[in-house]
Amino acid sequence: MTALDPAPPPPPRGSHQATDPGQRPAPDGRPAGHTAPAGRRRARAGRRAPLLLVVPACVAAAFALLPLGYLAVRALERGPGYAWDVVADERTLLLLGRSLGLTAVVVAACLVLGVSLAWLTVRTALPGARAWGVLATLPLAVPSYVAAFTWLAAVPEIAGFTGAALALTLVSFPYVHLPVAAALRGIDPAQEEAARSLGHGPLRTFLRVTLPQLRPAAAGGALLVALYVLSDFGAVSLMRYDTFTRAIHTSYRASFDRTPAAALSVVLVVMTVALVAAEARTRGRAGHARTGGGTARPAVPLPLGRWRIPALAWCAGVTAVAVVFPLGSLGYWLAAGTSATWDLDGLAGAAWATLGVAAAGAGLTTLLALPVGVIAARHRGRGARLLEQAAYAGHALPGITVALALVFFAVRYAYPLYQQLPLLVCAYAVLFLPVAVAATRAAVLQAPPVLEDVARSLGRRPLRVLREVTVPLAAPGVAAGAALTFVVCMKELPATLLLRPTGMDTLATRLWTETGAGSFAAAAPYAAALILLAAVPSYLLGRHRT
């Protein structure tokens, strides 16, 4: 069977290949209790991905792996022995422990915040649940360096590990909240209702029935949080907490010798591969598509009873520290800076440049992520796992490493792109490809694969099935991923500082320049404009998920 041949039809009903419906979730995306015949499962698992997906997916993977070629050249420039001495140095081990410790704390806190808020706003009779769900997405609009700036300006003693962990947690937990909330809306509530009918309380039902079904979504969100923390530069720099990213940036700026920084970046890549492999193992072969008969029925909201006031206090407290506090702090600095003359022309130009480059970056990233996400969701196997893991390669790298890699290749092989806008757009695609891939994969998993099987059985070729069935079904989730990618492109700082065309400033670069000079009042308008612009897609994203 060639890559473009339609799949063989499933075996007839009643064949000896039928499986016990009590087995684990099927690899085609069916929930537990709705497994497909074994012949159909083997046919789908064994079907090779069509070339029309494999070729662009390989291009996207090669694109994401481009910085690794640069790191290999630089890290081995003075020989493997020198690179090993850098990696095995006591300071490197200290940075490893600090980075992993910060990542573990932030991921754990984001899981608690994201899962609890998703459950309260989706599955309970929480007053104003829709509004609280939208508010839980708004921290996406706050860059980590803005959150760090607001907390540091208000409480200078918070600098260090505590401040970095707090700032990163408050801007990262929506990465967990969004996929978990979507999964809660997609899973069948019948299992939870059956558990409660057998005498299980709400907590035991959540822990034994609901939480295992949320594991893939929570693990995917936790992976994005971990990679975000490992690659963050702004918050840890302002909080003066040494991690790999800050050490790499310092090494690049302190010396013309790029080998130490490249060797440290290789360690980050190894950590990324380990995290992606662990997330894939945790995710397993689970899917979320509902394929049972009848119309999907929403879950009945769970009454909170005496927990109503604590639940409202929890939602209000998270909103206060994640949204209200940074906005209030910026309002204070805006008021303090009214005596100064604001550069309105510069502010408008930076805002327009930010919107344009973020839109271009989100468009290219989503286009590259589409084939990778479809293959990861529909075609299980070693090749699919390798393509997905390759797409995550650049996300944990500091933006300055990705930027220098692109400068290296542009100067040597594509000089007309040097210091031009397309190079910056390519950097965004390398950095944020995992965000779009994760959204695409989740959206495709939500689409019932049996509809694709029906289209193939009617003689539709793979391209037509993709265009007429897969993409339309997954379009809302893909669009949500594009909106999320747009937001993170707007907030990106290190690569933008290095790769932006001469004379072009974004809101992030102007904010960083003013903050570095200690001009908090002058930086406030750029921070406020950045948050307001990023809040629009964040709000729409929250509305889409609720």
Mean per-residue pLDDT, 470-490:
84
**What's the confidence (pLDDT) of residue 242?**
86
Q: What angle do CA 486, 491, 492 make, to 5 degrees?
A: 100
Question: What letter would DSSP give residue 500?
Answer: S
197 confidence band (pLDDT: 50, 70, 90): low
pLDDT at 7 over 50: no
Q: Tell me the DSSP string of 440-508.
A: HHHHHHHS-THHHHHHHHTT--HHHHIIIIIHHHHHHHHHHHHHHHHHHHHH--HHHHHHSPTT---HH
Task: For residues 546 and 541, give the distance between their C-alpha atoms in angstroms, rounded to a whole number.
Answer: 9
Residue 8 lies in a domain: no
pLDDT in tens, 339-383: 455 677 778 888 999 999 999 999 999 999 988 888 888 877 777
Residue 475 lies in a domain: yes
Give the range with max mean pLDDT: 128-132, 265-269, 282-286. Answer: 128-132
Least confident window among 3-12, 383-392, 410-419: 3-12
pLDDT in tens, 227-252: 889 888 888 888 889 888 888 777 77
Sorted by sequence, the CB contacts under 8 Å of residue 219 that are 6+ apart come out as 279, 282, 283
**What's the confidence (pLDDT) of residue 284?**
54
pLDDT at 44 over 50: no
Question: What three-state secondary structure class fits 448?
Answer: coil
Q: What percent of the chain has pLDDT over 90?
A: 14
**What's the confidence (pLDDT) of residue 342?**
66
Residue 56 lies in a domain: no
Residue 300 lies in a domain: no
Residue 58 lies in a domain: no
**What's the confidence (pLDDT) of residue 542?**
64
**What's the confidence (pLDDT) of residue 355?**
92
- β-partners of residue 124 are 302
Residue 59 lies in a domain: no
Of the candidates 352, 312, 302, the one whose C-alpha atom is nearest the C-alpha of residue 490 is 352
Residue 44 lies in a domain: no
**What's the confidence (pLDDT) of residue 34?**
45
Q: What is the CATH number of the domain that holds 169?
A: 1.10.3720.10
Residue 36 lies in a domain: no
Domain that includes residue 251, residue range = 66-289+307-545
- The domain tally of the chain equals 1
